[in-house]
Amino acid sequence: MPSLPEWGAEPMTYLIQGETGDWEVVVGLEVHAQVSSKAKLFSGASADFGGKPNTHVSLVDAAMPGMLPVINEYCVEQAVKTGLGIEAEINLHSVFERKNYFYADLPQGYQISQFQHPVVGEGTVTLDMEDGSQRYIGIERLHMEQDAGKSMHDQDPKRSFIDLNRAGVCLMEIVSKPDIRSPEEAGEFVRKLRSILRYLGTCDGNMEEGSMRADVNVSVRKVGSDELKTRTETKNVNSIRFIMQVIEIEAERQVEVWESGGEVVQETRLFDVARNETRAMRSKEFAHDYRYFPDPDLLPLKLSEDYVAALKASLPELPDQKKERFIAEFGLSAYDAHVLVQERETAAYFEVAASGRDGKQAANWVTTNLFGALNKLGLSITESPVSAANLGKLLDLQADDTISGRIAKDVFEIMLDTGDDPEKIVEEKGLKQITDTGAIEAAVDEAIASNPEQAQQVRDGNGKAIGWFVGQIMKATGGKANPGAVNQMLRDKLSSD
Amino acid sequence: MTMLNELTITDAYQKLSSGEISAVELTQSCLDAMAAARDLNAFVTETPEIALERAGASDTRRASGNTVGPLDGIPIALKDLYCTEGVLTMAGSHILDGFVPPYESTVSANLRDAGAVMLGKTNMDEFAMGSATVTSYHGSTKNPWKLDDGKDRVPGGSSGGSATAVAGHLGLAATGTDTGGSIRQPASFSGIVGMKPTYGRCSRWGLVAYASSLDQAGPMTKSVEDAAIMLQSMAGHDPKDTTSAPIELPDFQAALTGDVRGLKVGIPKEYVIDGMPGEIDTLWKRGAEMFRDAGAEIVDISLPHTTYALPTYYIISPAEASSNLARYDGVRYGLRVNGDSLDDMYAKTRAEGFGTEVRRRIMIGTYVLSAGYYDAYYVKAQKVRSRIAEDFTKAFNDVDVVLTPTAPSPAFAIGEKMDDPIAMYLNDVFTVPASLAGLPGISVPAGLSAEGLPLGLQVIGRPFDEETMFRASHVLERQAAFSAKPTGMGG
């Protein structure tokens, strides 16, 4: 039995310790991302999720005799934008081909896809790992294809039902090179890809609704080897957690197979969530000769350089660029910047809150206080009761010494409850910091007088005791005294001479 | 006196315009002829109610001065490959049992909008796969041309029902479709004009697909001028068919100037094949003379890859067909034969629904697309196809049109060549090259065989230059002055 995977000495090295030595895992992902488009790839029918069965079906989708596909140019635009977003080569000439196989939810008897000539070629996705390192994952290609319909086998004891609402919806298949070396990298890859797609608006990245899913290709090899051994492909994995689980399970299984003298078989496998295992599909389920050939109903897809250049010019700022800008403009750490740009909404929130203010402080507030609170409330950043503008105001109140850091946290709690403007809260609750030296002095004198022993310790040079006094005075003033002023006054009054 | 159903479109249009006849009378005369000639099996579905209704509407338009063009009130037949809204469409196949489309094909809708009156749907080889109209689920269609040997002859195919409808004067004109010769070859066999436009000239939307890169709709008529009139309404860019050409339509009728002086007519030396009857060769030479007599210049040309055209066609068309016909699976429409499992249902439905020839082509097509054979067959065939097209491109540097025989024989008897697919495929040997190159071609009746059966000559034009092709074939028609009548109409 191989032991559980462990993090090796090298950063980001994921090793499986077998009986014959250490193994590493080689992973490639094929991510299917549904293009955000109102209409399907080759018909005008709605591509919306949901809807009663067979209500989003055109004559083309149902493959009625004599019906012909017409390319949806909006979908092409989204695929090209996505290609540009992953820094990939755009192929000005690409071809739609037919992938032939019979299934009840595939009305044409073939899926229109791209095979030999995809619209997007090689690209790169950059991953920011938790330890601050970066990994570059190569993209092999991106192509467009039609989704199939849905077969429902649980509606009737004898019959299966078919829902063609999804049939013909445009998917982008994004194929990575086998550059991924751990479940964490795979997870980060999908998160990063999803982030790019969402920034571009080309896919909503909603894995629960099936807008994104992945086929996971896994093989293992001895550490130090650069051989690519037989891989398995686990189909249709629909969450980041499951993708990571599949890699762990497959890697362990394969190491065990090799070490026990067996041979890993190139096959298609399914992930059984309930049993937390992968298992081979029956050969019948995948043993197809797809007989790809160029679809004679469609002309080759030709794009002009100008078209691609115009799309490139229209791209929004993407996560990597935004991250660099946040580092440069706001002085953030690479890690904070990475965390803030993952979701476009978070980045936008941060920018409003941080604009014209101390960026690092704003980042701290967003990544610790706000994220923590939202997490507890189960809310997304767009649902935050504390608006970005109000968080900014809170930072201002703290910066100009209107309130102390401690009070700011209290005000923030109230803002979470009420959504109110922090200025209003501070005003109404009388939380303004006491900057009146007379009032502070009175409190300091009172404290020194009541605690002669501690006062003596301070005079004797015990620095910790000063902190104790500050605490006492802050307590006495309900936190409203300016801690800096209190500290200074204590030092003045308790100085040894 | 000429019966109304025997009129050409141009003649009928004059009589309609002058008020001598009504569209209803004209239509009724065709319906009567259809009823009298049912033994020919030209129509698989007759639509007399629709016909009379549309004819009546045409007469109303004419009475109020709102005639929509030269086809207004002209009764025509539609090949059963055209999907017709609310009218059974089976493409000669059992697998489309009971299929009534909720939509009208673009080409037949264009004709309907031009005022043409639909008489019914004509018989055809199953899914247009055949050269004799003998593979139809509805049985064979008979050629109205008979000899005194008592044998029924094929009308050619696959548009044999339409050919018989026109030759037998059951309609003034008909639509066909041509993939490898399915309009031109039956036109030759039946003594009529049959024209295949440039690929992309007519929309394929709503035509039951056989081989998508080759299928074209086209007219089958009694004269070249009628073909020009029909094409004018059938053709045009259709945004629903990506392969239809977004270019302006010329005025085809205006191209019929009757003048071919200086026109260069190419005679390709490769169109002489082994075992071809001498009378075909003789007719071809006579055709060249007719052109010369009319002032055209005859130029010997070479189309060196011609010999590979037929095998290339019989790789590409079945490959596309094997995929196009995958949708007939018993799930959504047409025939379903229940089975123990989904695969069993597919197998039973398709075994019962498809005839022998369709099954053969699905098998061939599946084979040539299979892993390990794709490069050797399909990819190579596509390369040869490009060479064939290049041959024509080069030839058209030197000539304006190409003249060839349409078919290597006159109509043969029903039952012949049935057990020899290769012999059957040879019917298309002269029509397939232009199909592979996407070129317009027209067959014009040019003479009779020694036995007394019609023979056609084919004029091939440059892509999207149907005008020159029409001009040339119109002169050929005049020179040939083909006036023989079918002998088998039973009076």
CA pseudo-torsion sign B333, B339, B343, B346: negative
Measure A412 CA to nearest chain B CA, in Å.
59
The predicted structure's pLDDT at residue A3: 47
The structure tokens listed for B323 are 């995929």
Q: Which chain B residue's Cα is nearest to A284?
A: B343
For the stretch B290-309, what's the b/e string if a residue is b when 16 or more beta carbons lie within 10 angstroms of its beta carbon?
Answer: bbeebebebeebebebbebb
- CB contact (8 A) between residue A65 and residue B83: yes
Q: How confident is the model at residue A214 (pLDDT cuts 50, 70, 90)?
A: very high
Instruction: List CB contacts (< 8 A) between B322 and chain A.
Output: 100, 291
Confidence bin at B417 (pLDDT 50/70/90): confident
How much is the ipTM here? 0.96
Phi, psi dihedral angles at B490 (to 5 degrees)? 60, 35
Please tell me which residue, B395 or A464, carries the higher pLDDT value.
Answer: B395
User: What is the mean pLDDT of the segment spanning B394-405?
Assistant: 98
Share above pLDDT 90 across residues of chain B, in percent, rounded to a whole number: 95
Strand duo A161-163 + A232-237: pairing: unpaired
- By the 10 Å C-beta count (0-12 exposed, 13-18 middle, 19+ buried), A224 is classed as exposed
Band of pLDDT at residue B424, cut at 50, 70 and 90: confident
The pLDDT tens digits of the residues spanning A12-29 come to 579 999 999 999 999 999
Chain A residue with minimum CA distance to B341: A159
pLDDT at B102 over 50: yes
Contact A63 B332 (CB under 8 A): yes
Residue of B nearest to A293 (CA): B369
Q: Which of B105, B158, B159, B409 is catalytic?
A: B158
pLDDT in tens, A354-378: 999 999 999 999 999 999 999 999 9
pLDDT in tens, A112-147: 999 999 999 999 999 988 877 889 999 999 999 999
C-alpha count within 13 angstroms, C-beta hemisphere, residue B289: 8
Q: Where do we find the tokens 């109110």? A: A420
Residue B415 DSSP class: T
Q: What is the mean pLDDT of residues B174-183?
A: 98
A90, amino acid identity: I
Is B104's Cβ below 8 Å from some Cβ in A?
A: no
B114 and B151 in contact (C-beta within 8 Å)? no
Gap from A101 CA to chain B (nearest CA, Å): 8
**Which of A41, A61, A64 should one mutate to test binding to chain B, selecting the residue with the greatest count of B CBs within 10 A?**
A64
Q: Is B242 on the interface with A (CB under 8 A)?
A: yes
Mean pLDDT throughout B103-118? 98
CA pair distance B180, B490, nearest whole angstrom: 32
Residue B225 has pLDDT above 50, yes or no: yes
Helices and strands, number each (H, E), in chain B: 15, 11
Q: What is the pLDDT of residue A477?
A: 82
Residue A348 has pLDDT above 90, yes or no: yes
Give the residue on A whose Cα is nearest the Cα of B377.
A293
pLDDT at site B389: 98
Burial class (CB in 10 A: 0-12, 13-18, 19+), A52: exposed
Cβ-Cβ contacts under 8 Å for B299 (sequence gap 6 or more): B264, B265, B266, B267, B398, B399
Rg (CA), chain B: 21
Question: Does residue A5 carry a pLDDT above 80?
Answer: no
Q: What is the mean pLDDT of chain A?
A: 91
Of A59, A70, A102, the CB nearest to B239: A70
CA distances from B1 to B4, B7, B72 (A): 9, 11, 24
- pLDDT tens profile B280-326: 999 999 999 999 999 999 999 999 999 999 999 999 999 999 999 99
3-state secondary structure B257-303: CCCCCCCEEEEEHHHCCCCCCHHHHHHHHHHHHHHHHCCCEEEEECC
d(CA B141, CA B322): 26
Instruction: Choose the weakest-confidence range: A76-90, A141-155, A418-432, A452-466.
Output: A452-466
Question: Which of A68, A107, A298 is the closest to B204 by Cβ?
Answer: A68
CB contact at 8 A, B241 and A68 = yes
Contacts of A154 (CB under 8 A, 6+ apart): none
d(CA B234, CA B236): 7
Residue A497 has pLDDT above 60, yes or no: no
Strand partners, B485: none
Which pLDDT score is estimated for A278?
93
| Average confidence (pLDDT) over B165-174 | 98
The answer to whether B166 touches B446, Cβ cutoff 8 Å, is no
Among B131, B182, B244, B317, which one carries the catalytic annotation?
B182
More confident residue, A493 or B102: B102
What are the sequence ranges of the domains in chain A?
6-309, 317-429, 437-494
**What is the pLDDT at residue A131?**
79
Cross-chain residue pair B369–A291, CB shorter than 8 Å: yes
How distant is the Cα of A363 from the closest Cα of chain B, in angstroms?
52
Contact A68 B208 (CB under 8 A): no
Task: Count Cβ neighbours within 10 Å for each residue of B101-115 and write b for 16 or more, e otherwise.
Answer: bebbbbbbbbbbebb
Q: Which pTM was predicted?
A: 0.91
Tokens at A401, concatenated: 């010494």
- Closest residue to A299, CB basis, from B83, B89, B243: B243
Strands B75-79, B117-122: pairing kind? parallel
Q: What is the reported pLDDT for A69?
A: 98
Report angle CA A342, A343, A349 to the nearest 5 degrees: 115
Residue A211 Cα, gap to closest chain B Cα (Å)? 27
Using a CB–CB cutoff of 8 Å, tell me whether B195 touches chain A: no
* Inter-chain residue contact A293 with B323, CB threshold 8 Å: yes
Which of A70, A293, A299 is closest, CB to CB, to B369? Answer: A293
Class of domain A437-494: mainly alpha
Question: Which pLDDT belongs to residue A476?
Answer: 83
Residue A107 with chain B: CB contacts under 8 Å: 327, 331-332
Please answer yes or no on whether B205 and A67 come within 8 Å at the CB atom. yes
User: Domain residues of chain B, as ranges?
Assistant: 4-257, 307-380
Classified by CATH at the fold level, domain B4-257 comes out as Amidase signature (AS) enzymes (3.90.1300)
Per-residue model confidence (pLDDT) at position A446 = 86
Site of tokens 């469409």: B89
Mean pLDDT of B71-90: 98
Question: How many A×B Cβ pairs under 8 Å?
Answer: 96
Query: Pick the catalytic residue: B79, B142, B196, B222?
Result: B79
Q: Which residues does chain B have within 8 Å of residue A68's beta carbon, measured at their own beta carbons?
A: 204-205, 240-242
Nearest to B186, CA basis, from B204, B168, B198:
B168
Q: Please state which of the ranges B73-77, B112-116, B339-343 shows the lowest mean pLDDT.
A: B339-343
**pLDDT above 50 (res B468):** yes
Written as six digits, the tokens of A189 are 């890859």
Partners of residue B83 in chain A, C-beta under 8 Å? 65-66
Q: Inter-chain contact A293–B366, Cβ cutoff 8 Å?
A: no
Question: Cα A22 vs. chain centroid, distance in angstroms?
Answer: 31
3-state secondary structure of A257: helix
Which DSSP string corresponds to A384-407?
-SS-HHHHHHHHHHHHTTSS-HHH
**d(C-alpha A299, C-alpha A317), whole Å:** 33
User: How distant is the Cα of B341 from the closest Cα of chain A, in angstroms?
Assistant: 10
Please tell me if residue B179 touches chain A, with a CB cutoff of 8 Å: no
Contact yes or no for B326 and A110 at CB 8 A:
yes
Residue A2: the pLDDT is 47
**Catalytic residue status for B158:** yes
Interface test with A, best of B324, B373, B374 (most A CBs within 10 A): B324
Ranking A445-449, B3-7, B92-96 by mean pLDDT, the lowest is: A445-449
DSSP helix/strand/coil, B148: coil
User: In which residue are the tokens 């009757």 written?
Assistant: B258
Question: B109 Cβ partners below 8 Å, 6+ apart?
Answer: B206
Per-residue pLDDT, A407: 87
Interface of A with B in 104-163 (CB under 8 A): 104, 107-110, 160, 162
The whole-number pLDDT of residue B1 equals 56
Q: Is A293 on the interface with B (CB under 8 A)?
A: yes
> Could you tell me the two tokens for A489?
């006054």
C-alpha to C-alpha distances, B159 to A211, B81, B328, nearest whole angstrom: 47, 9, 22
Count other Cβ atoms within 10 Å, centred on residue B438. 21
pLDDT of A1: 45
Exposed, middle or buried, A305 (CB in 10 Å: 0-12/13-18/19+)?
A: exposed
Query: Picking from A65-74, A453-462, B144-153, B193-202, which range would have the lowest pLDDT averaged per residue?
Result: A453-462
Residues of A in contact with B369 (CB under 8 A): 100, 291-293
- pLDDT of A279 strictly over 50: yes
| A387-413 tens-digit pLDDT | 999 999 999 999 988 888 888 999 999
For A:432-491, CB contacts with B below 8 A are none
Do B4 and B29 form a contact (C-beta atoms < 8 A)? yes
pLDDT for res B91? 98
What are the pLDDT digits (tens) for A159-180? 889 999 999 999 999 999 999 9
Give me the residues paired with residue B297 across strands. Answer: B264
Q: What is the total residue count of chain A? A: 497
Buried b or exposed e, range B227-238, using 16+ CB within 10 angstroms: bbbbbbbbbbbb
Say what the alpha-carbon torsion angle A308, A314, A316, A322 is, to the nearest 10 degrees: 80
CB A443 within 8 A of CB A473: yes
Chosen from B323, B350, B364 to mutate, greatest number of chain A CBs within 10 A:
B323
Report pLDDT for A8. Answer: 37
Residue B326 has its nearest CB partner, among A64, A108, A297, at A108
